[in-house]
């Protein structure tokens, strides 16, 4: 599951250093090639709504195998593309690999109880955090040595390896034949009218939204506001990912003992405190790269504790709809995150400095804390806590 979800995360980030070169290769504007990022995110958000119900009906194994096969075909198409339009078409088809992120969590929840699921999801998402941190470094090196095509050759080889492993080792975790689509539609209200489901989902969406906002504005902050070089910018962008990996490790070790709600609450508190301190220091005139990016590590640390536990809670509200819950939750996370990422980029300028981004990250972190507090209150009313 770490490799399946990691391949999806790798596909999202590994080619980013090559965007300028690819725009020149296809003789098009950078803004057009940027659709390989924003369009891809939009595609994966929509796909996650469908992936869950399909896997609930037909099983996790065939859906993962089918998605990986589509990914391999699409990656080959990207390699052979002779125009930007053709490349972008196959790039959207590559979005099928998001199945790895959507279903890895549902598969874990299929196999083990709630508290143990949070622990295992923590380890899975720790792998997902490390891959995007290293992906651009690998992609940039491959581009420099062999050209941008080498990045997609690497994805093709990695995809073939993961497909072979899934075919040999992944069993089916959905008992029986799942539920039919008509029955699935009839059960939607059961999931969508659950306050606890929306509490966990909004907790995840706001927590991850703070990170997506960071992705949308951190490059501008590093280069245009602080004047960092490319190598320094790469290191700075990895700060939250480092914290995220540590937070996931903490989740993996302590979630079963502490409980998912308490761990998620602690995570949102850590992120909010770090972002609050960052904003306060900037308002006080202390604004340096080390302060800004160093405190962004706390955002990753908090999210590393929040997301695995909120995910386990979300999938446990209605266990028989775990696939649907995973897909819908993922769509809300990525869709909302893409909007926050665009907002961060639009709000920043050399005149405003880092303040809009810091305020946005603090606001979304606080909203994530409020969401998990509402879940805790709801469970106490229901006698579940």
- pLDDT tens for residues 210-235? 987 887 777 778 777 888 765 676 67
* Total tally of structural domains belonging to the chain: 1
Is 130 a residue whose pLDDT tops 90?
no
Domain span at residue 227 reads 2-382
Calpha distance 105→310 (Å, rounded): 11
pLDDT at 56: 76
**Alpha-carbon 105 to chain mean position:** 12
Here the tokens at position 357 are: 């981004």
User: Which pLDDT score is estimated for 174?
Assistant: 73
**Could you give the dihedral angle defined by the CA atoms of residues 281, 284, 290 and 293, in that order, rounded to the nearest 10 degrees?**
50
The pLDDT value given to residue 156: 96
Residue range 25-79, pLDDT digits in tens = 999 876 677 677 777 877 888 887 777 778 877 888 889 899 999 999 999 999 9
Higher-confidence position of 294 and 125: 294
CB 310 within 8 A of CB 200: yes
Measured CA to CA, the distance from residue 88 to residue 366 in angstroms comes to 37
Question: Would you put residue 227 in left (φ > 0), alpha (ψ -120 to 50) or beta?
Answer: left
Each residue of 222-280: pLDDT tens digit?
A: 777 888 765 676 677 778 878 888 898 888 788 888 889 999 999 999 999 999 999 99
| CATH number assigned to the domain comprising residue 326 | 1.20.1250.20
pTM above 0.75, yes or no: no
In this prediction, residue 374 has a pLDDT band, given cuts at 50, 70 and 90, of very high
Average pLDDT over residues 368-374: 96
Q: What radius of gyration, in Å, describes the C-alpha atoms of the chain?
A: 20
CA–CA distance, 311 with 319 (Å, rounded to integer): 12
Q: Residue 63: how many CA atoms within 13 Å on its side-chain side?
A: 28
Contact 126, 19 (CB under 8 A): no
Which pLDDT score, from 0 to 100, does residue 163 have? Answer: 94
């Amino acid at each position: 599951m770490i490799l399946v979800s990691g391949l999806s995360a790798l596909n999202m980030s590994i080619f980013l250093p090559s965007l300028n070169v690819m725009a020149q290769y296809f003789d098009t504007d950078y803004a057009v090639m940027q659709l390989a990022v924003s369009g891809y995110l939009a595609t994966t958000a929509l796909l996650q709504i469908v992936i869950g119900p399909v896997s609930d009906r037909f099983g996790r194994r065939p859906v993962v195998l089918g998605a990986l096969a589509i990914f391999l075909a699409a990656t080959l198409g990207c390699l052979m593309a002779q125009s930007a339009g053709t490349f972008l078409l196959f790039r959207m088809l590559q979005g099928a690999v998001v199945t790895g992120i959507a279903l890895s969590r549902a598969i874990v929840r299929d196999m083990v109880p709630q508290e143990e699921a949070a622990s295992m999801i923590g380890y899975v998402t720790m792998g997902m955090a490390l891959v995007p941190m290293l992906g651009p470094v690998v992609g940039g090196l491959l581009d420099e040595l062999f050209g941008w095509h080498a990045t997609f050759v690497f994805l093709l080889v990695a995809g073939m390896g993961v497909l072979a492993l899934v075919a040999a080792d992944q069993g089916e975790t959905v008992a029986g034949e799942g539920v039919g689509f008509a029955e699935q539609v009839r059960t939607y209200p059961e999931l969508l009218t659950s306050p606890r489901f929306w509490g966990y989902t909004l907790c995840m969406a706001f927590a991850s939204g703070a990170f997506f906002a960071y992705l949308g504005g951190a490059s501008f902050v590093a280069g245009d506001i602080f004047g960092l070089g490319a190598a320094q910018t790469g290191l700075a962008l990895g700060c939250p990912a480092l914290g995220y990996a540590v937070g996931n490790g903490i989740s993996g070790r302590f979630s079963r003992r502490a409980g998912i709600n308490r761990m998620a609450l602690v995570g949102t508190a850590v992120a909010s405190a770090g972002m609050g301190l960052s904003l306060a220091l900037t308002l006080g005139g202390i604004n340096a790269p080390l302060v800004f990016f160093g405190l962004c590590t706390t955002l990753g640390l908090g999210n590393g504790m929040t997301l695995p536990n909120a995910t386990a809670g979300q999938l446990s509200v209605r266990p028989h709809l775990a696939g649907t819950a995973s897909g819908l939750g993922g769509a809300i996370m990525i869709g909302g995150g893409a909007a926050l990422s665009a907002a961060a980029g639009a709000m920043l300028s050399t005149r405003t400095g880092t303040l809009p981004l810091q305020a946005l990250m603090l606001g979304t972190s606080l909203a994530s804390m409020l969401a998990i507090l509402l879940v805790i209150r709801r469970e106490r009313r229901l006698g579940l806590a």
